[in-house]
Structure 1
């Protein structure tokens, strides 16, 4: 596998990783409301969740999972319910959050929250398979697959760290304090939309 193919795979995965979605927008919200350190820990959890699905995709289990209707549907229902739970928490935060400041959460809990969010989303395996297919050929061996997967893992960590740094800047955090109820409400709506989409996708099979 040449350098150009690796770069193409990394670029494809970067586009997927930074695209707006439940993971990236929740990371941005945490960065604005709780600061850079909490967001970096949360982002590390998100990235480790991506690694889980990346290893599944790289090992070939992703194709098996896609072909297993009942297993994939069950995972989508579980992921959808988790996203609906997050929607409820965000909506409650939008209406009950005190103006005095954010609630303190231990760093390891931020990591777990990020990890669970991406592990509960089986659609991640589709993104992995799409990114890997750009740079890999059918006759590529283990080391080519390992190199492409490693590049995507590094890109995933960098993309989440980028969100953490950008949205934890002072101006962003100050703006959030003025609009936090609206932002929490919007995030709740996004989680609800994504959760219902996963459940609807599972039941439509």
Structure 2
């Protein structure tokens, strides 16, 4: 009888990984503060789609190509760095529809695309999945077990990010009433995007 791979250990590990602050978390929180639950929801959808794309890349073995092709890896990495730095500048200046302040509603498609771009331009993620998921799959297991684990991780990503959305939305009204708090939040998110960009730039192959 086959053992179900979606063990409590796997789910707990996935939960901790998804909970860790990163590009997707920062983007989802800033989107929620700027546009409310609706914006946070679509931001989380974009980040989750990016996770699915990374899982597809990893399972197709393309992550190995990224690992062996220094030129391709560096090209994708620095495209991600440039986008993160742009996001930092946009948040700091309240430009390009990227703001923690209330603004005109951003179309769902734009929020989703931005979430995908922010996360998909990190070539380290498919490499991570290639190292992480096989630990929970017995040797010789059918491909569908890998797909099941991948979908479980993606679902966990969405659930955790929506948790962040709920938390941000709860304190949103109070933050909006304080100009000083909003200025600090803008600087914190801008600094977070910049720091994540610099961290990505400093990572090797």
For the criterion TM > 0.5, the same-fold answer is yes
TM-score normalised by length of structure 2 = 0.86
Q: RMSD across aligned C-alpha pairs, in angstroms? A: 2.5
Unmatched tracts of structure 1, length 5 or more: none
C-alpha separation in 2, matches of 1:90 and 1:164: 18
Corresponding position of 1:13: 14
Corresponding position of 1:70: 71
C-alpha separation in 1, matches of 2:65 and 2:123: 13
TM-score normalised by length of structure 1 = 0.86
In structure 2, the CA distance between the partners of 1:173 and 1:132, relative to structure 1 (3 Å rule), is farther
2:99 and 2:186 in contact (8 A); partners too: no
Corresponding position of 1:122: 123
Shift of 1:151: 1.0
List aligned pairs for 1:46-195, cutoff 5 A.
46-93=47-94, 101-169=102-170, 171-178=171-178, 179-195=181-197
2:91 and 2:186 in contact (8 A); partners too: yes
In structure 2, the CA distance between the partners of 1:3 and 1:185, relative to structure 1 (3 Å rule), is same
Unmatched tracts of structure 2, length 5 or more: none
Shift of 1:100: 8.2
C-alpha separation in 2, matches of 1:173 and 1:13: 31
C-alpha separation in 2, matches of 1:180 and 1:124: 32
Between the two structures, name the one with larger relative contact order (CA 8 Å, sep ≥ 6): 1
1:84 and 1:191 in contact (8 A); partners too: yes
In structure 2, the CA distance between the partners of 1:173 and 1:131, relative to structure 1 (3 Å rule), is farther
Aligned residue-pair number: 200
2:203 partner SS? helix
C-alpha separation in 2, matches of 1:138 and 1:98: 47
C-alpha separation in 2, matches of 1:163 and 1:34: 14
